[in-house]
Amino acid sequence: MSKTTERCIAYRCPKCGTGVIGPADVIKLPGAEFRLNCTCRNSSLIINKNNAGKLSLSVPCVLCGTPHTFTVQASLLENADVVSLPCPFSGLDICFLGEINSVKAALAESELKLLNTMQEMGIDSFEAFHPEQTGRKTGAAGMELENGVAVMQVLEELVEDGKIRCRCPEGQGKAFDVTSGDGELEIECPVCHAKRRIPLDSGPALQALLEAEELYLETDESE
């Protein structure tokens, strides 16, 4: 019986969505470059090591469709419980290093966040995050999808911290409805119906939301 790999590295394939896990022992092998390939053969995590004990990781991004590069100490693969590396644009963790059970748990948690975001935005495939590679949509539409992912993560954090204010008495507004429209997201309190529209066009309103510590919903003018 083969011994279970105790430490590993993992990422999610942007083409098929599979969580790809490989042994961390590859860094002990001779050679300067190693690849962790998805079984669909459409993505690879590339590891380059140098003589200074550092690793350069080129990680496929399920959101952007193009890799992001990270530099880490090789010792992280041998000592850390779990280290998560995020997409620099959305903040979603896309690479995990460390103890295998902790890595699997972090990979599963990131999948739940990703699937929830896809459901909220009405997206039914991972390829929809990078439409310029499929020919279905281009340019601004692709950027709106990335912005939408970033907004959803901010909204989730604000809800969790109780920092979204509506017209309900303090402490009562805990659940909010989020719908995707033409180039925007709308968040609404289902009780008092206060709402806020968030444009996804990379303008100042979006930037203000991404940096907000609190979010105030507006009165529904139709009432």
3-state secondary structure 16-46: CCCEEEEEHHHHHCCCCEEEEECCCCCCEEE
Confidence of residue 1 (pLDDT cuts 50, 70, 90): very low
Please give the pLDDT value at position 135: 42
What is the mean pLDDT of the segment spanning 72-91?
82
Q: What's the confidence (pLDDT) of residue 139?
A: 45
The predicted structure's pLDDT at residue 84: 92
106: confidence class by pLDDT, cuts 50, 70, 90:
very high
Q: Nearest to residue 176, comparing CAs of 146, 139, 216, 142? A: 216
Looking at residue 166, the DSSP 8-state letter turns out to be -
**141 vs 170: which has the higher pLDDT:** 170
Q: What is the DSSP letter of 73?
A: E
- The domain segmentation of the chain, as residue ranges, is 7-121, 139-216
Question: Mean pLDDT throughout 65-72?
Answer: 86
Separation of alpha carbons 173 and 167, rounded Å? 8
Taking phi over 0 as left and psi of -120 to 50 as alpha, with beta for the rest, 163 belongs to alpha
β-partners of residue 178 are 187
Give the angle 103-107-109 at the CA atoms, nearest 5°: 115
Greater confidence (49 vs 205) lies with 49
- Least confident residue range of 44-48, 134-138, 193-197: 134-138
Higher pLDDT, 78 or 16: 16
pLDDT of residue 102 exceeding 90: yes
What does the pLDDT read at residue 136?
Answer: 40
Beta strands across the sheet bearing 82-86: 19-23, 7-12, 93-99, 82-86
CA–CA dist 87, 62 (Å, integer): 9
Q: What is the mean pLDDT of residues 26-48?
A: 83
Q: Give 128's pLDDT tier (boundaries 50, 70, 90).
A: low
Output 30 or 180, whichever has higher pLDDT.
Answer: 180
- Say what the pLDDT of residue 214 is: 86
Q: Say whether 94 sits in a helix, a strand or coil.
A: strand
Query: Do the bridges between strand 164-165 and strand 215-216 make them parallel or antiparallel, or are there none, so unpaired?
Result: parallel
Mean pLDDT score of the chain: 78
Element (H, E) at 196: strand 195-199
Q: Which residues contact 1 (CB under 8 A, 6 or more apart)?
A: none
Mean pLDDT for 5-30 is 83
pLDDT of 134 over the 70 cut: no
Per-residue pLDDT at 96: 94
**Distant-in-sequence, close-in-space partners of 190: CB < 8 Å, separation ≥ 6:** 175, 176, 177
Structure tokens at 105: 């748990």
